[in-house]
């Protein structure tokens, strides 16, 4: 995989395949019915976002053989109803972190995830973020 667009599919597919029962929405896409239902029921749900953070030339073997390293973050925003504690959110965050921790798939190499309690989002939800740094390489 050598493109920014190409990394999205495998990252999202890994989530959907392994956490099929977790309502999830992706960036710049309307909420699917499972997320809308979860919000209405006050059940946990997740927003998955992919952020590219940096790129660099990792090596040059010739005029037409350049290795590039691309880094990014997989961000899973876990939402649970406010005033219900953090156990459900932290449990789901742990599951997501385990799914991506040091995983290698489709040319993506995930690193060590971390969890950050963001707090109440102002809409009745407690937000906990799981952030997974990753990198991939491409030849140009």
Query: Which residue has 């977790």 as its token pair?
Result: 22
**Could you tell me the residue ranges of all domains in the chain?**
4-139
φ, ψ of residue 87 to 5 degrees: the values are -60, -50
pTM of the model: 0.91
Domain topology for 4-139: STM4215-like (3.30.2000)
- In percent, the amount of the chain with pLDDT more than 70 equals 99
Q: Where are the beta strands (DSSP E) in 1-140?
A: 24-26, 45-62, 65-81, 104-105, 108-110, 114-120, 125-139
User: What is the pLDDT, as a whole number, of residue 39?
Assistant: 95
Q: How far is CA 40 from the centre of its chain?
A: 23
């Amino acid at each position: 995989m050598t493109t920014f667009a190409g990394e999205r599919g495998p990252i999202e597919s890994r989530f959907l395949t392994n956490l099929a029962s977790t309502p999830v929405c992706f960036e710049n896409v309307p909420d699917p019915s499972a997320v809308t239902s979860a919000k209405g029921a006050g059940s946990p749900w997740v927003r998955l976002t992919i952020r590219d953070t940096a790129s660099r030339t990792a090596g040059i073997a010739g005029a037409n053989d350049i290795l590039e390293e691309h880094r990014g973050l997989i961000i899973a925003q876990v939402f649970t109803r406010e005033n219900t504690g953090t156990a459900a959110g932290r449990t789901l965050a742990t599951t997501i972190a385990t799914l991506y921790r040091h995983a290698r798939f489709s040319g993506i190499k995930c690193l060590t995830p971390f969890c950050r309690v963001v707090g109440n989002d102002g809409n009745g939800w407690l937000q906990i973020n799981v952030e997974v740094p990753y990198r991939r390489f491409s030849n140009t």
